[in-house]
Chains A and B, each alone.
Chain A
Amino acid sequence: MIEFHLNSRSGVAPYLQLIRQVRQALRLGLLRAGDQLPTVKDVAGSVAVNPNTVLKAYRELEYEGLVAAKPGVGTFVTKTLSDASVAAHQRLSLELSAWIGRAQQAGLDIESIEALFQRAVQSAAREEAV
Chain B
Amino acid sequence: MTNATAAIDARGLGKRYGHRWALADCTLTIPAGHVAGLVGPNGAGKTTLISLATGMLAPTTGTVEVLGGQPTGGSDQLARVGYVAQDTPTYAGLSVADHLRLGAHLNPRWDAALARRRIEQLGLDPRQKAAELSGGQRAQLALTLALAKRPELLILDEPIASLDPSARREFLQVLMHATAEQGLSVVMSSHLVADLERVSDYLIVLIASRVRIDGEVDGLLATHHLLTGPRREAASLPASQQVITQSHTGRQSTFLVRSSEPVIDPAWTVEEVSLEDLVVAYMGQASAGSPDIRMLEVRR
Which residues in A have some Cβ–Cβ distance to B below 8 Å? 6, 8-9, 11, 13-14, 40-42, 44-54, 56, 119, 122-123, 126, 129-130
- Complex A-B: 6 CB contacts under 8 Å: A42-B177, A44-B180, A51-B179, A52-B33, A52-B34, A129-B262
Which of chain B's residues 152-198 have a Cβ closer than 8 Å to chain A?
A: 169, 172-177, 179-181, 194, 197-198
A48 near B264 (CB under 8 angstroms)?
A: no
Stretch at the interface among B93-101, B237-245, B265-273: B265-273
In angstroms, how far is the closest chain B Cβ from the Cβ of A91?
Answer: 30
The answer, among B199, B270, B300, for a CB contact under 8 Å with A48, is: B199
- Given known A13-B221, A44-B180, A122-B270, contact A53–B264 (CB-CB < 8 A): no
Main secondary structure of the interface of A (DSSP, over half): helix
Closest to B177 in A: A45
B292 at the binding interface (Cβ < 8 Å): no
Instruction: Bin chain B's interface residue count.
Output: 20 to 34
User: In the docked arrangement, what's the CA distance between A50 and B176, Å?
Assistant: 6
B198 near A45 (CB under 8 angstroms)?
A: no
Residues of A within 8 A of B264 (CB): 126, 130
A48 near B221 (CB under 8 angstroms)?
A: no
In angstroms, how far is the closest chain A Cβ from the Cβ of B194?
Answer: 7
B200 near A50 (CB under 8 angstroms)?
A: yes
B35 at the binding interface (Cβ < 8 Å): yes
In angstroms, how far is the closest chain A Cβ from the Cβ of B230?
Answer: 15
User: In the docked arrangement, what's the CA distance between A54 and B172, Å?
Assistant: 15
Residues of A within 8 A of B274 (CB): 11
